[in-house]
Structures are given as C-alpha cells and as structure tokens.
Structure 1
C-alpha cells in the first residue's frame, strides 16, 4: 500500500462492518458506507446513506417506559446493484454474492487522493469459466448532490449475457447499532417510486415526524454497447431497472449508475424530487465525473494535507480524509453540527456532542468558513439553550450534552448494558461542561481567524450567555468561603453520582469549574474590549444587566477546586472512594475499557471506585498551555506549579481505563509535554483507535470523528505548541522521537498556505507572497517577524 491508499485483501464477513465504516465516501452533504453494492442490510453488511442534518424523532417503549429518540436517518439505498449470468438457452445463474459464492480473490482499495473506492474480484462459474469484476464508486466532492458507481465485468473465455439489476431501495430502517434493536427504527414514510425517460428511476419519501422530503434519482446506462433488453420496474418501496448486456472475451460489459440526492432542507430548489431528476438528467458521464471530483479533492488536499513520514503519516491522512468527508467546504452552507461518529454510522444516533472541541482546532487554520458554520449551528440554538437554562432555574444558556435538529436535549434517558442486558438510567445530560467547550471554540476560532465581527456579535452572545449560566450555577458556601458548582457530571462519564446517593450528580468537578472560570474571565475581557455602543447594544439584546458583572468577577476568583494527596481532585470526594484492584480485573477480562459495564454486570458500581473512563482533570492540560493553566489556578488563589501538575498526571494515569477513543489522544498530548518517554504509546493508541477497532466493534457503527481530528491537532498543536493569541503564532515545539519530522500548511489572518515544517532539529516557517501584513512568530526564547514571500528557519534547542 502506498501512503495514499488503503487496501483490504480477501473477504471476511466478520470484518465487513469495520471495513464499511472505514471505506465510507462522503462530501460533507451526504455519505455512503463502503458496503458491497449487491448487499442488503443484515448481520454481515450494512449499506447506508446519511445526509448531514436529516434527523427524525420516534417514540418507543423500553423497559415499560415511553422514550423518545431523535436519530440521523438512514436514507434509501442508492448503491444496490447486482448481476448474474444469462446463458444462450435463456436460463440464468444465481445472483453473484461473496456470501453465497466464494470469489477467487477479493480486494478493496480506498484511494485517498482521488477519494474513490475500487473493488476488484474474480469468480469461477461452472459453465462460463472465470470472470473478473471491477467496481469504482465516488460521492462527488465538486457537486454535493451526486454519486456514481461503475461496474465492469470481463469474461475470459465465454460469450453470453449479463443481467444487471440496479435498484433504489426505500425499504430501509435504522439497524446499524444492535443495542438499539428494541427501539422504533422505521423513519421513512410515503415512499413512492417511478420511472423517467428510458433509463432513470426515481424515489421520493418523507421522514415521519420531522417531515423532511427526500428525492432520489438514478440513471443506469450501458457504456460502449446497447443493452439487449432494458426494463424499468417501479414498485411500492423499491424501484428496479433490469438490463441484459452482451459480454464476450475482449468485450467487457460496462454499466454506470449515476445518482442524485436532494432533501427539502436544500436551498435554491423547488422540490427535492424535481431537483434530483434535473440533476441526474444533466450529469456528465462517469469519466468526466471522476475528473471533476478528483480536481475538487486536489484543491482540498493542497490546503489541508499533513505530511508525516511512515505509518503514522498514512493513518493521519486517513483520519484527515474522513474529517474532510464529514466537514467539507459544502458544510459551510448547511445548518449542521459535528456528528460524533461522522456520517459513517448510527452510533450515538448521529448526535452532536462536544466533539467540535477536538475538531475546530484543526479546521480553524484550514477551513475557517466551516468552523464559523459549525459555530452558527450553536448560535441558532442559543434560544433553545436559554429556555433550557430557565427551565432548570438558571440564567443564561444551558446547552444540551447531545444535540440534534433543534437544539433540545437529545440525551437518552436509558441506556443498555450489553453485558447484563439491563436498561439503566442515563445521567450524562448533566455534562454541562459542553457549554464551556462551545465558548472555547468561539474564542479559538476568532483568535485564529481574526474574525472580530463574529466575536463582537454572535460569538459574544454565546460567550456571555454561557458565562451567565456558570455565574448563576455557582452557590456560595460560607463554611468554605468559596463558590461551588454542584450536581454535574464531568468528562469522565463513569462517575455520575456518589455511592448510594438518591440523586445523580457530583460536586466541584475540577474540569467543569476551571473551564467555567476561563469562560467567565474571557467574557469579562470581551466586555471590557467591546466598543461602548456595541456593549450597550449587546446588553440590551440579551437583557444583561451590568450589575451582574461583579458576581462574574467574584465567582471567577473564588470558585472551588478540590485537592487530595497533593493532586487536583476530579471532584469533591474522589480521593475518598475505594481503590480498584486493576491487576485483578485486567487478568480476568480481555478488556476493561468499559469497566462501568463490567462492574454493573457483577452487581457493583464504578461510582464506588477511583476509576475513570477517560481524561477528566487531564483535559485541562489538553486545552490550556502550562502557563495559561497556572494563571487560571492563580486567579483562584491556588498554586499549581509543574510539580503539582506532574503528580496529578501520574495519579490519573494509574486510574483510567481509556473507555473512550478520546482518552488516549488527550493523554498523548498531555504526556508529550509532561513525560515524553511515555507519550508515544498513547499517541499510537489514538492513531490505531479506529483502524484496529480497539473499542471492540464500535467502529462498525461509525468512525470516532473527534479522535480522528484530534490526532491531526496533536501534530499541529501538541508537537509544535502552536497557539494563536495576541495577534501572533506562538510555538513551543517538543521533541517526540517517533514524530520528529512533520509538515503542514495553515490559513492565518488572510495568509493562505503558511508552511510549517520540522526536520533535523530545525523549524521552518514559510509565508507565501501576498499583500497581507507580516506574521509575528513567538517562541519561548525569541520572537521573529516573517514577511510575505519569506522563509524563516529556526534552530531548536536539543531538549
């Protein structure tokens, strides 16, 4: 395999769902999983197509309780195409499938540069001998509504007919995630099909409650020779186009299927079906579609690619590929957030969590217009977040832990433990720290892009309303002389209550409190910096009384952070919990990543132990440099020097099971600065998370988008120490031997293609020629200014 391709040799039903996720093709508007075209959904395969932002809400009865869930909808299957041999006497062979007929060889090749998936295989027929097949597909990056599949069948020594069946299948449900099987999963209603002209099928339907219209049209055509027969067969939920094509040695049968997809959420159309029919009727042929698709990707790669030698570089490029397929330039025109599992599967129901915290750091300096669109998704849902805060008796904005179409809280009330088969309460909606993540993203986007207009308008509205929520959530405890935030859940997620407590929630979660302090401090800074007229207009718009600001200042300086044994406590009382016998559990179980499920199945609870699912306190080291973190604690009157932080890192390293793909990523970045010798094992785990499916079957339900984007940020920010603040690029490179060479380009303050490259102990900064102002670059021991058209080479210290 080259640095630009991923190949999967052979056919193994057990690995199909993993490969299907990793071979998903998309363009930011929609994506289609890498299932073989002849397959239908079952235990082995899961062909599926998802359009960004197309959600639907259904009611189910679970464990005797009525629950309502909103899901990213599995749309009609456009990919379905199968074939069989037709003999001279009119008889036919079986429809080909590797599940029923073992191929002689079978290979999938994912070409990252061209964004195509090629499948090649050969099979032997008792009468026809050996036939070879090549199928190439794409989801067009230039035109976000198009996809195409070319199938070429070649006979070595036989002449006859090839019968091809091309289908638009509306008889689909959401069935990618097995543990959701007891839920209502049929989202599509009013399915209609029909034929248009001589070679086009169409299908239209609507989502049952969100009432989103979906229009799909498919043109199936023979290339180089006409079919001997062609018949369009629309039916109630499926539309079938059946063709018979002559095939002979040296004369392969070539069939192109071109598909257009529109929904009623699209702009500049009259109706989805009409738009799809117009689109497919005027679409170019397959070779021309490939050319324009590859050209669109070439433009993307020029500005976004990361260059790292070796296997790590191959994996990073795969990660970037999937980030760009989910969040492409087309995303800038959509009202969508960052789906935690991409557009690749149905885990987490396609919801938006806090994953943009790990994604925007990379996008801000590559595709800032996409970052802005993702922040606009949050701003449009600010009124909903304010209503949620009022319903909870709070001021400001309380954003949901899981968001979907309209910004209400979509977190499920129950979740299934597959080990015990029991449905349990889900208290993760108490992760109010998602608001701090949104505020952090607003600030970082504006620092990176210089978008002062956004910071002073929509960004300011979100930042101040989130600060307002934190100030109002803080309760003063006279006995401690400090404010406390109580009844929350931190990033850890294992701990959602105290042992035997009647109510869920924890007090004084360190991550929640420190990030709340950061939000309050940034909000106060912004208020002071705003022009007087804008400050007045903003205060009037969000009905903010300037009399609230003194409390913001006080809370930002007197919020409590607990400590025990000389380390930062994850939450109040964490140090009083029992210690877990980690060695015993590692010996007894193959994997203890989901320790919560193991203990619950044993009749125990992880709430009793000092055991965390993922980085919680250590997330502070992911978001903030050591200087900024020390300043935040100093603001609160705590002295957290390097020694306290090192002890804290050591403490939680021994008590974390890494039940989330984000955990290894965060630990890798933190250790790159705290304990470099141990960093690589965590970085390597983060790189392997999806390609090796280290969570045990979860990648088949969708890639982990935050972790993929986070590995790119680990190179961009973790290894370089890159920060964008005070109108400068701040760099503090760390030597990580396994990633000692790297290069990437940035868009910064109007400069397109600022090159950053490290090799042989040197850091090279190249600023392309333009009319923009010079860039100030600040390192720990010096500051330089690099003018457009110049390259600056900096010799780095050895340690």
Structure 2
C-alpha cells in the first residue's frame, strides 16, 4: 500500500493502529527492524529476530539515550576523531531446538511481524521446521516498558505441532557488539565496548557488564529466563555458558505435542550515567529479580501508552492517519518522560540506528513545535540540554574570535562540535572535506525554540531562568558576526552555510562558506529583535541580574537594534537570493541529468563523481530560503523584510517558491515537510503531494537504504505538525491562539487536543464549515482565540465556534 502502514499482500485495508509485514524479505529487513523497533525514551531496540546476528541482513541494535563513546580513526592518512552513539550489548539472543536438532537460526516459514501502536507491543508469528521435519509454531511478543524504562521483555510461545520430547531453549546476553550499522562508516573504528565482567547468579540470573573504550561509560545488563505451561512453572535442567563478553544458559524442558510452552525473558539495563543508581550492575540485578511477569509488565506498559495516546489525540479522515500515528509512536519512543532527567537532546535519526552517529542537529526545530503543544515539559528538557552546553557554545565562539554563543551543527555528549571533518562519496570512492560545521543557523534554531516555547507556555520562570540567557548569548554571537560593509551601508554575515547544504563555497573562491545567506541573515535579525523583547519581558530584578552577569550594557543593546535593522538580504529577479552571488551561478541542464539519473537526491555526489561540483549551479538539496516561510507566516516574513528596509509585496512568496521549487531535488526528508507547509496557501494540491511524500519517507524508504540506518525524526514530527498547525492555520502569538484553516481537499476534518499555558485539555475541531475550540473545566485563566484578524475569549468549560 502506498500510504499508511503496510498490509500483508491480499489482506483487508490495514488497521490504522497496526504496522504489519508478511513473509521474510532480506532486502527489507533493515527497514522493518527500524520501523518495528520498540522503545521508551531511555532506550530503543531494533526489531531484529532474537536468533539473528549482525550479518549484513539483520542488525540487532539497542541504543541508550545519551550513551556516546569517542574513538580515533585514520582516514586517507589523516587522524580523525568521532563520537558515536554506542550500540549496547545485545539483550535479545534466544533460540531453541528439538531433541538434538540444530539451533533455530532463521528464517522461518509463514512469518508475520506486527507492531501494535496502541499498546506498544511487537508480535512475531512463524512456523519453524527443522531438518527432521519437526514443526514448531512460534509466537513472540516484545516490549520496552514505558512503565519501567530499564526493563525489556520477550515472551516466546512454542507449540510443537508434530512432535514431543526434549526442548532446549538458549537465552543469552551478548557483549561482543560493534557499531557496524552504517556501511560508509565501516572503515572507521567501530569497537566501542570491552567486557567488564559476566556471570550467572545462583538463582539463574544472567548478568553482563561492559566498559566503553574512550569514555567512563559502563553498561550493565541482567536477565531472568523462565518457562511455564498455562501459568504453571515448568521444571528445567539448566546449563550455563559463560565466557568473556557472553553469558548464556540453556534450559532443557519436556515438550508435548500440541501443548504450548511459554518462555519469558526479562532484561534490565542500567548505565553509569543513570541518576540515583549507584553501581549499574547491582541496579540491573536487583531490577530483574524484582520484575513482575510478562503479563503484568505488558499490562502496565499498555496503560502508559493509553495515557500517551490520550494526550496525543489527533484524528483526520484520510487513509494516511495510520502513518501519522506511526510517526508519533516513534517520536514518543525516542523522547519521553524517561528522557527528561538524562541530559539528552533529540537525535536526528532517533535511537533507531547509527546514521549521523546518533548526533543532535537542528531537527529539534521540527520536533519542539509539536512537543510545545503536547508535552511542554519534554520541550523544556530539550532546551535544558542546550543550556547545559551554553559554556561550550561560548568557548566555540571565542575560538573563532567572536562573542556570545556559537552552537555546534552536530552535538553529542559535551557540546563540542561533532561534525565530521571528512565525508565519503560512495560514487567516487573519495573522501572529501566536510564543511557542514559552518551551518551557524543552528544557533538561531535554538533561539527560535526558546521563544516559541515561551509563547506556547507563558512560562516566565523558564525565560528568566535559562531561556533568556541562551537567547541573549545567541543574539550577541550574531551581532559579533555582523561586519559593516560601507559600500552597501549594511551589515554582512560571511563564511556560513545555509540549510541547503549543497553549497559550501563559491566556485570562484577557495574560501569556505558563503556570504549573506538569506535564511541565516533574516533569522539573525529576528533573533536580535526577540532578544531585545526578552530583556523587556523579564522582571526588573532578573533583567538587572542577567545583564550584569553577561556584561551587557546599553551600548551593546543599541548595536543589536541597529544590526537587526540593517543586515544585508540579497535579491535577484524579484526573488530572495539564497546567498549573495547566487545569481552568478550557472543553470543546470536539468533535462539531461534527469534523463541520465532518475534519482537526483544526491546530485552533489553525482557531480563530484563526474569531476564537477554542485557549487557551480543553482541547485538545492532541500529548502533553504523557503525555510523562512516555514517558520513564519507570509505576513510575518514581509514584516521582517520591511523592518530590514526591503520592500516585500504579496507576490514575493509565490515568485520565490516557484524559483526554488524548480531547482530543488529534495535530498533531505525535511524538504518535503517544508514544501508542503509553504505551498499550503498557494497550491494546496502540491502541498498535499509533498505531505504524502513526507509520510512515505521512512515507510517506503524513499532515499533507498537510509531508513535502515535510523528513522528521520524531524520529518516524522513535521508530518504530524502539518496536521496540527499548518492545515489548521494554528499560530501562537500575541498571547493568542490564532486559527486560519486551509484543509486539503482529501481531508474533511481534523480533531485534536492541545496543552496551552496550563490548560491540559483544549479540543480543536476543524471541518469544511467551521472551527470549534473547547476548553475543559479548570481553574486556569481564559484563553484568547483569534480567527482571521478578530479574536474572542474562551473560558474554561466553554467552547466557541467560528464559521468558515
């Protein structure tokens, strides 16, 4: 099926709460392992078969939030250092055999894999036939507990269909793992963990501890494996197998034809990073010894998912709503209440794989807009992650001779720049300089998130405590970066990269970076203005404290005002230029390249392999200038440009959109989200096409192999937010919820619940005739709701309907 969870071939239309695969397809296995992964914000575990090993088809991987390790590699004669999200010990290994047959190693017959989004349970069903023709029906259920985040559990039911006799089950913990999940990284150091002890306790508890090679990190696992028939514990002879990095036990049971045997494997995971833990190994052993059975674990886990779905209610009458829920599901598995106290950011590829080394980019710009109106406490935790790294950002700015805070394009454990120095073009086999660290606009994304969180929550304590300090230091960085150009009588920001990422320098210059990227400059102007607003919003005593702490005087604030109004923004042919000098670039022969290369998403690699460079052409990987119209309404963009002294008519959006749309290859999954958003007001059919493309991004692995390396979390959140804010026209500004719906023709209604400034239950219902806003009864203040230029007050326990 093109859209929504994939049904089995020939089945009825899929349940929008279930993702189902039938049969075994080695080429699809990596995608299935990612999309059917289970997690809880503390960890995520890929949906690899328990009997499998990393073999080029399967890739058992479990990733713990914030658990990184640093390693040195030699590439092309150069020494490079990378910090990776560690693939932690494999908790899954479980296999079985009948009598003295071979251990089941897969694949099986008649195999189905089904992920229940509502309850957070992965179920696998299969028929296993060994060499002697003995048939065993296999059913496995797997969870990563949302109720007890350190616990994972696997329930395996085995039904001998045509045999009776001895059944052996082997359960293990495997610490012999590496980071080999991304092919282009395999020439780099991949071993991050070494054995630090393993064993079996007298009660049968297996345990394993590993230590990271380049950091103080230690990870401990303990597991309990039990067998029962219809709830009655089965006697089993136990044989232990222990060696460095491996702890296993074999249970020998009596199986009876047609009678199910259920094996429960419960695993606890702790690390030396966990708060209130002490020794991780002791904590892991205690947790698994005290853990309830699978049924109770699954019940409590499902209850937590029920609570999450209640708070995430979003319904729309179109066939892709199941995929929207799948995207929400993976967002809540990556970042949840269990992430809040871990000092972790939002990894661009979730906790589902090793692409981008598990680093944090600007994708939170797409995620936090969703969280602000659903789980503001989670959004605040992400911003605290950034605040803890404010000093590192200050040091980075000083290192390049600037003031304020320069946040890194890629962040991980301690806030230093983690962008790689080299990247491999697999088409040419060449390692090339990587200049992506020049994407200074990531700081503006942090500032934007600070201000939007304040607008959505009205949390002045957050702004006064941490938010304003980040906002002011980012503004100071932009003011320090701006250089006065007397020829123009304006300020320039030089040597940066925009969101496009293709253009990292001018073809006529050896100097890296570009000058006056329009997105960077307009957003820098906005940051400077909002920083001044934040100063005014703070209580007098806190304002004085913060200005004194930062050494901010009136002279510097006056400069912010001046720079914010006089930054240079380039134009050409009546459209916003991507950067200064863009009009000098050549036009690509698009017809020729589309004929020779059906997929141009990695046009940069294609041109480099041909001995050319994308820097020569007006060609974009993804939305750059158009990002302005994603973050701000067309009215706001015109206001920002007019504040800078540039005329900006109503036709600017249409001309600019048309220009870049014809020259963009959408090499990032985020691009479809942005274009769907921008086109909503001008071409709803095109907006809908991009929305469906964004829905398909990971579900159909549109980029050909990237989904198996991890989900695209920003794009997943962006699709949900298109329903939540874009198509409803929802904006938070001027202490008001503004609405201006533009539903695509394929959607007749959207219903959702929001949290806003202390209100836990604001119901929004949009259809073709009206918009209705309803507030649950509470003691909170009334809410001002605006609709197309006018506004009204809605009180708790009341509702208001606007006619379209």
Does residue 469 (structure 1) correspond to residue 474 (structure 2)? The answer is no
What's 2:26 paired with? 13
- DSSP 3-state at the match of 2:639: helix
Q: C-alpha root-mean-square deviation of aligned residues, in Å?
A: 1.1
C-alpha separation in 2, matches of 1:785 and 1:537: 36
Equivalent in the alignment of 2:772: 764
CA distance in 2, matches of 1:720, 1:518: 25
The question of whether the paired residues in 1 share the 8 Å contact of 2:197 and 2:245 is answered with yes
- Residue in 1 aligned with 2:223? 218
Q: Per the alignment, in what secondary structure is the counterpart of residue 593 of structure 1?
A: coil
Q: What's the offset of the Cα at 1:727?
A: 1.7
Does the alignment pair 1:335 with 2:343?
A: yes
Would you say the 8 A contact 2:93–2:172 is kept in 1? yes
For 2:746 and 2:582, the matched residues in 1 are separated by 35
* Residue 444 (structure 1) aligns with: 452
Distance in 2 of aligned mates of 1:593 and 1:126: 46
Could you state the TM-score of these two structures normalised by the residue count of structure 1?
Answer: 0.97
**Aligned partner (choices 779, 787, 799) of residue 787 of structure 2:** 779
**Partner Cα distance (1:565, 1:306) in 2:** 42
Q: Which residue of 1 aligns with 2:112?
A: 107
More divergent stretch after superposition (637-646 vs 365-374): 637-646
Q: State the match for 1:63 in structure 2.
A: 76
Counterpart in 1 of 2:10? Answer: none
* Residue of structure 1 in register with 2:575 after alignment: 567
State which of 501, 508, 520 in structure 2 corresponds to 1:512: 520
Query: Alignment partner for residue 648 of structure 1, among 656, 680, 687?
Result: 656
2:483 & 2:346 partners in 1: Cα distance? 33
**C-alpha distance after superposition, 1:118-159 (max 9, x if no partner):** 000113345454321000000000111000000011012311
Where in structure 2 are the equivalents of 1:653-692 lying within 5 Å? 653-692=661-700
Partner residue of 1:52 out of 49, 56, 65? 65
Q: How far has the Cα of 1:532 moved from its partner?
A: 2.7
Give the distance between the partners of 1:710 and 1:245, measured in 2 at CA: 50
Cα offset, 1:528, TM superposition: 2.5
Equivalent of residue 278 in structure 2, options 258, 265, 270: 270
The 10-residue stretch of structure 1 (730-739 or 710-719) with the greater mean CA deviation from structure 2: 730-739
* 3-state secondary structure, aligned to 1:737: coil
1:83-482 map, 5 Å: 83-86=96-99, 92-99=100-107, 103-125=108-130, 127-223=132-228, 224-482=232-490
Aligned positions of 1:712-751 closer than 5 A: 712-751=720-759
- Aligned partner of 1:43 among 48, 53, 56: 56
Equivalent residues in 2 for 1:530-569, closer than 5 Å: 530-569=538-577
- Distance in 1 separating the partners of 2:82 and 2:580: 33
Equivalence for 1:79: 92
Task: Confirm or deny that 1:29 pairs with 2:79.
Answer: no
* CA distance in 2 between partners of 1:335 and 1:126 (Å): 51
Q: Deviations over 1:703-752 (max 9, x none)?
A: 00000001111111111121112221111111311233211111111111
**In the alignment, is the contact (CA less than 8 A) between 2:46 and 2:62 conserved in 1?**
yes
Deviations 1:363-385 (A, max 9, x none): 01111111111000000000000
Question: 1:615 — aligned with what?
Answer: 623
| Distance (whole Å) between structure 2 residues aligned to residue 469 and residue 433 of structure 1 | 11
Deviations 1:326-379 (A, max 9, x none): 011112222000100000000000000001000000001111111111000000
Structure 1 partner of 2:705: 697
Which of 301-310 and 33-42 deviates more? Answer: 301-310
Pair 1:585 & 2:593 matched: yes
Query: Which piece of structure 1 moves more, 761-770 or 176-185?
Result: 761-770
Contact kept, 8 Å, 1:120 with 1:135, in 2: the verdict is: yes
Partner Cα separation in structure 1 for residue 377 and residue 456 of structure 2: 12
Give how far 1:64 is off. Answer: 0.6
What is the alpha-carbon distance in structure 1 between the residues aligned to residue 576 and residue 30 of structure 2? Answer: 41
What displacement does 1:498 show? 0.3
CA distance in 2, matches of 1:247, 1:760: 61
User: Which ranges in structure 1 are unaligned for 5 or more consecutive residues?
Assistant: 87-91
Distance 1:15 1:121 in 2: 17
Verify the 8 A CA contact 1:354 1:437 in the aligned structure 2. yes
TM-score, reference length from structure 2 = 0.97
Q: How far is the alpha carbon of 1:249 from its aligned partner?
A: 2.3
Cα pair 2:224 2:265 within 8 Å, conserved: yes
Aligned length in residues: 788
Contact 1:334 1:373 in 2 (8 A): no
Note the alpha carbon deviations across 1:428-464, whole angstroms, 9 max, x for none.
0000000000000000011101111111221010000
Shift of 1:639: 1.4
State the distance in 2 between where 1:703 and 1:117 align: 17
